[in-house]
Structure 1
Amino acid sequence: MTNKNLDTLSAAGVAIWLDDLSRKRLQTGNLAQLMSEKNVVGVTTNPTIFQKAIVGSEVYTEQLKDLAVRGVTVDEAVRMITTADVRDAADVLRPAYDASGGQDGRVSIEVDPRLAHQTAATVAEAKQLWWLVDRENLLIKIPATRAGLPAITETLAAGISVNVTLIFSLERYREVMDAFLAGIEQAHANGYDLSKMASVASFFVSRVDTEVDKRLDKLGKNELRGKAAVANARLAYQAYEEVFSGERWTALAQAGAKPQRPLWASTGVKDPAYPDTMYVDELIVRHVVNTMPEATLDAEADHGKPVEDSIHGTYEESRKVLDDLEAAGVSYDDVVQVLEDEGVDKFEVSWKELLDSVQGELDRLK
């Protein structure tokens, strides 16, 4: 059985991806069940997700013991564990990959967040992860930092599919799309089959409201609360439409390339005052991905109000929201820079917590 709300969402052109992964999901068949019952056609991961999955879970004990006996470094142990889960998830999702012609059925794994400001090291790690997982329905997550932009281009040029993460600003998003086009052009020149490559641009949503609302509260401008994130994402889709209807893209499409779809990330609502399906129902349009925590997926299935299209016709209104925020004293440029910096820092902290936890297990199981 499928779900009416999620069927409506899928029919509207939104690819439903799960923002979570664990070995327990794989071993119990839960991921396969979500595919058949809740229209899940992709998976995203990040350091926080792996940290929560591994710590305190007995399903990793046997592999951890083997790694401890071998005396591997904690960095190698984490990569062996996480790539194993991603590889198995890619196999579970392979039917969705085949059915969508390679658009969906994708699983994402992130480069070491400590490399976020190092271009060459990011590219080298992307190549290593691509080789380790060895599944064509993989996406390598690269953050949209200043150093990440050329890394995106170089990684795509090597024939590797990319999920660009931590995008907050419209300006940076346009730079990401430009980096994508340059990478696909180089991949074509390098002889790669563009039809097998894919990319998504992960535009973060809820964190924008969290930061903006905090500033509005200090200014006493409550009438603008909860409007920034959706407006920002809608304007991102407007930018997507502009770029992927231009001549540069048309030439690549004729060579078999797939567009880099916008992916709505951070779609779990942080403020309980807002509807828990807000970042799903307000961002419905064709050719996008919404990667949801399971709680958000369940909420949408239970009481979401999906429509055919909730983005077209909103661009003027969305621009006014951002203009009104500037007039109220909330600097858009400062907000998005703070969020990018915090995003990298948060993933670094989660990565360190993961390394520390795994090191503790390796020491215990020697």
Structure 2
Amino acid sequence: MSQVIVDGVLLGNRTDSDAALTVRLAVLADELGYREIWLGESTGHDAFALAVAVAAAAGDLPGACADAEAGRPPGAGPATADEIRRATPEPRNRAALTLGPLPALVRDPVTAARGAASVATLTGRDIGLALTASTGLVVVDWHGRPRTDPATALAETLTVLGPLTRNEPISFQGVSVRSRGFRARLEPSEASLTVLAFGLEASEVAVGRADRVAVPLATVEHAARIKARLALTADRLHRSVPRLAVFLPTVVDPDQQALDWIRRSLLPYLDADGFGRMFAEAGHGELVDLARGGAHERSLLAAMPEDVLRSIAAIGDLNQVCSAFEDYRQAGVDEIVMLPENHAPGVIEHTIRALAK
């Protein structure tokens, strides 16, 4: 078994993600001994379906249903979930599968809990659910749902979702979320819960409701601030401090195309609230001003030095990447989830393999 020097890998989170490629890369990470594989979703696929496909491709599922049915008397009905689980061969590598980030305002708690239980039953894997308030584009435009108070909706979703993943009865009437009387027919998934957060409000929502906070993009300094906020909130509420994970764009031995890909991926963040301030605090205020002034994409790319990339990514040779990881750990980050996605599958595969030495 390889020794993986990162905590997890997020795959399938881009709008142009190729589901078949995501499955192949996830199976590779599983075979190499990665402890956790995050499976995002966007316009191309469903995260729950993708998780089952990954487990099947990794050898968890072949023949399980048929094996469970074998020897049953005629008319006995389909195999039960327990029988399927017993018939499913033990996989050689069992990375936990974390589904998401999923928009809490779209995936209601019953849907999320039922999906997690289904994946856990079919795959035999440890399961996680990662939730986010998401954007107006996803919630309002795509799904036609209101997004008036995202933090409250996220808090209420977590309040209901926790008991549901443990098959505990729930009766809850909130502002945005209501649930009463649902009882799953599957074994509880006991899914871990993660909140995707960048600012103070969503981070505080996680304390007492989630196991972990994940920051989608952060400098070392911003990650340290989030960790401090979590500790202060937990102390005030007399709760335990959630673990802190950071999503870190990661490329080992990048070529110019790989660096340019990361540059393009940062463009939407430069003038976004919070993210823009973070980049300005990191010394890139002129670039943020250009973005807020409506500069063309080509101008922004030309004006973006490699220092900007290095402030939020782990790039370079293996030693440089590991050094970047260590900087985040020294700042209090508990888990690093790398984002190896790039323009070329070969670059992604090289990075996944390089970090499993």
TM-score class, shorter = 0.3 to 0.5
TM-score by length of structure 1 reads: 0.41
Instruction: Point out the structure with the larger helix share.
Output: 1
TM-score by length of structure 2 reads: 0.42
User: Bigger radius of gyration, 1 or 2?
Assistant: 2
For CA contacts below 8 A with separation 6 or more, give which structure has more relative contact order.
1
